[in-house]
Amino acid sequence: MAPTEADEHLEELGRLADTAGASVAAVLIQRLSAPHPRYFIGEGKAQQLKTVAKERDATVVVFDDELSPAQGKNLEDLLETRVMDRTELILDIFATRARTNEAQLQVELAQLEYLLPRLKRMWSHLSRIRGGIGLRGPGETQLETDRRIITRRISDLREKLQIVARRRATQRKGRRGEFQAALVGYTNAGKSSLLRGLSGADLVVEDRLFATLDPATRKVDLPMGTSVLITDTVGFIRKLPHHLVASFRATLEEAAEADLLLHVIDGSHPRWLDQKVVVEEVLAELDLGEVPVALVFNKVDQLTHDEEEALRSEADRRFREAAVFTSTMEREGLQEVIGLLEDQVRKQRPEVRLTIPAADGETLATIYREGEVLSREESGTMIDLRARLPEPTLGRLRQREGVRIGGAA
Ligand SMILES: Nc1nc2c(ncn2[C@@H]2O[C@H](COP(=O)(O)OP(=O)(O)OP(=O)(O)O)[C@@H](O)[C@H]2O)c(=O)[nH]1
Ligand SMILES: [Mg+2]
């Protein structure tokens, strides 16, 4: 029997649990037309869950759907084990994996916002059970304090994040001239593997969900003689906790300023289309809907020849974006990705020749800041440049006195 959507979702939840360091003891599914207010699942199912959890010595019970604070508390009282929902599990993973100061602040903020309405449950839980996943959290000191202190900490974190975001924006300004691409996609699709394949940089690649939390930018040289900056970003997932999306907004602003998004898709996943939609929804939520996108269908080594052909024709039929097919594992299709980047650079940053007065320091500075200078020659009072510049910059330069602009030689 083909796996149902619920099976696939639970399989993914199992992978999340695995990433958090837990192993799955049992899986239970209940078909419901609407969740029950008390336990989310029905009363009888809850009793069955209790029996199974006891039998298997489960230390934590994880729900794929978001539980209300009351449901979480009722379930913990009944089951006498730790109860988590998907949101909490994802927050937990992020908490253990965050490395940079910024990621840590972002995760703590998301956790505290999640925690605030659930404080009572966390309290009773902490006084009863210790151990198991889910306790790393924001740290027990916070849990022991009252709501007021948490609220203050939340605004404190927001402030700190703003400062980090401003610093990041200043850093970005310094390299605005280079063409920038950002890798986005469902978690585990192969974003870091792709960047590693393209740049030769040593990046964390793992068969786990959320291997990457902090954006990493690498320079990739293109054969056409220019280079692009490619940023690897955190992966998305179905039902990505809203708090997390909000607090990672600053990190993902990197992607917002990109000239191109490379949307990496695990083409061998039975639900790649659903995953693609999830990613597009998160992108829209982050106001990234306007950035040009190219699709990278990865892991084609896991497809038969016929399956790959079917995928190619489906992509061709359904999507208007440019698409390439890769196996970063077997280093296949990387040249196509490079070719695609070159096409985009040519399209978005046409190469021009400029002649400007040597005394016009302002124009020269603009060119260096906003574009890429390929060559420069001084002849007397004039400077000849070959450069790649974005259209808006060219538009402004055309208005300047003494500046002559021609096409590439
Ligand atoms: N078979 C196959 N596996 C691949 C390919 N590319 C990546 N993988 C594997 O897929 C897993 C995830 O790869 P990553 O590059 O870490 O994926 P990611 O998109 O960066 O994942 P997150 O950072 O978790 O969002 C690793 O086990 C890779 O070895 C591929 O082309 N073929
Ligand atoms: Mg990664």
State residue 215's pLDDT score: 72
For ligand 1, atom 32: residue with the closest CA: 299
Among 80, 103, 64, 401, CA closest to 250: 103
- Look up residue 357 and give its two tokens: 């007065």
pLDDT in tens, 157-169: 999 988 988 887 7
Distance of CA 130 to the CA centre of its chain: 32
pLDDT greater than 70 at residue 143: no
Higher-scoring residue by pLDDT: 239, 243: 239
Atom of ligand 1 lying closest to residue 298 CA: 31
User: With a 6 A CB cut-off, is 187 part of the ligand 1 pocket?
Assistant: yes
- Angle, vertex CA 116, rays to CA 111 and CA 117, nearest 5: 120
Q: Give the C-alpha distances (Å, rounded to integers) separating 83 from 19, 72, 340.
A: 17, 6, 47
- Give, for ligand 1, the residue of 205, 325, 337 to mutate: max count of ligand atoms closer than 8 Å to Cβ: 205
- Give the distance (Å) from ligand 2 centre to CA of residue 208: 9
Encode pLDDT of 85-112 as tens digits.
Answer: 998 899 888 888 887 888 888 889 988 8
CA 206 to centroid of ligand 1, rounded, Å: 6
Q: Tell me the pTM.
A: 0.83
* Kind of pairing between the strands at 216-221 and 260-266: unpaired
Percentage of the chain lying above the pLDDT 90 cut: 50
User: If you average pLDDT over every residue of the chain, what do you get?
Assistant: 86
Q: Which residue's structure tokens are 């419901």?
A: 32
Task: Using the atom order of ligand 1, give the atom closest to the CA of residue 236.
Answer: 25
Neighbours of 38 (CB within 10 A): 14
Ligand that comes closest to the CA of residue 189: 1
Whole-number Å distance, alpha carbon 392 to ligand 1 midpoint, is: 37
123 band by pLDDT with thresholds 50, 70 and 90: low
What is the pLDDT averaged over residues 28-41? 93
332 lines ligand 1 (CB under 6 A): no
Measure 134 CA to ligand 1 centroid, in angstroms. 26
Is 79 or 141 the better-scoring residue by pLDDT? Answer: 79
Residue 181 has pLDDT above 50, yes or no: yes
Q: Is 328 in the pocket of ligand 1 (CB under 6 A)?
A: yes
Which ligand is closest in space to the CA of residue 334? 1
The alpha carbon of 133 and the centre of ligand 1 are apart by a number of angstroms equal to 25
| pLDDT tens-place string over residues 296-342 | 999 999 999 999 999 999 999 999 999 999 999 999 999 999 999 99
Quick one: pLDDT band at residue 129, thresholds 50, 70, 90?
A: very low
For residue 188, the ligand 1 atom closest to its alpha carbon is 21
Cα of 246 vs centre of ligand 1, distance in Å, is: 25
Instruction: With a cut of 70, say whether residue 408 has pLDDT above it.
Output: no
Contacting residues for 170 by C-beta, under 8 A, at least 6 apart: none
Compute the distance between CA of residue 198 and CA of residue 358 in angstroms, rounded to an integer.
38
Q: What is the mean pLDDT of residues 343-350?
A: 91
The mean pLDDT of 178-207, rounded to a whole number, is 88
SS3 of the chain: the string is CCCCHHHHHHHHHHHHHHHCCCCCCCCCCCCCCCCECCEEECHHHHHHHHHHHHHCCCCEEEECCCCCHHHHHHHHHHHCCEEEEHHHHHHHHHHHHCCCHHHHHHHHHHHHHHHHHHHHHHHHHHHHCCCCCCCCCCCHHHHHCCHHHHHHHHHHHHHHHHHHHHHHHHHHHCCCCCEEEEEEEECCCCHHHHHHHHHCCCCCCCCCCCCCCCCEEEEEECCCCCEEEEEECCCECCCCCHHHHHHCHHHHHHHHCCCEEEEEEECCCCCHHHHHHHHHHHHHHCCCCCCCEEEEEECHHHCCHHHHHHHHHHHHHHCCCCEEECECCCCECHHHHHHHHHHHHHHHCCEEEEEEECCCHHHHHHHHHHCEEEEEEEECCEEEEEEECCHHHHHHHHCCCCCEEEECC
Could you tell me if the CB of 301 is within 6 A of ligand 1? Answer: yes
**Atom of ligand 1 at shortest range from CA of 235:** 25
**The two three-digit tokens of residue 25, written as one number:** 């003891």
Domains and CATH numbers, the chain: 5-89 (3.40.50.11060), 99-163 (no CATH), 176-347 (3.40.50.300), 349-407 (3.30.70.240)
- Model confidence at 124: pLDDT above 70: no
Q: Is the CB of 125 under 6 A from ligand 1?
A: no
The number of beta carbons lying within 10 Å of the beta carbon of residue 114 is 22
- Burial of 150: CB neighbours in 10 Å, binned 0-12, 13-18, 19+: middle
Atom index in ligand 1 nearest the CA of residue 212 equals: 23
pLDDT score recorded for residue 128: 46
Model confidence at 183, in pLDDT bands (50, 70, 90)? very high
CA nearest neighbour of 297 among 258, 336, 259? 336
Q: Return the residue whose CA atom lies nearest to atom 21 of ligand 1.
A: 188
| Ligand lying nearest the CA atom of residue 187 | 1
pLDDT score of 196: 93
| pLDDT reported for residue 210 | 74
pLDDT above 80 (res 211): no
Query: In this structure, which residues have their CB less than 5 angstroms from ion ligand 2?
Result: 191-192, 211-212
- List Cα–Cα distances, 92 to 108, 142, 226, 275, 308, in angstroms: 10, 15, 41, 22, 36
Ligand 1: which of 12, 187, 188 to mutate, judged by most atoms within 8 Å of the beta carbon?
188
- The more confident residue out of 210 and 176 is 210
Instruction: Indicate whether 146 pLDDT > 80.
Output: no
Q: Around Cβ 352, how many Cβ atoms within 10 Å?
A: 20
Higher pLDDT, 170 or 88: 88
Which one of 63-77, 139-153, 206-220, 228-242 scores highest in mean pLDDT?
63-77
Could you tell me if the CB of 247 is within 6 A of ligand 1? Answer: no
Between 61-75, 188-202, 214-228, 318-332, the lowest mean confidence (pLDDT) is in 214-228
Confidence of residue 257 (pLDDT cuts 50, 70, 90): confident
Q: Which of 142-146, 287-291, 378-382 has the lowest mean pLDDT?
A: 142-146
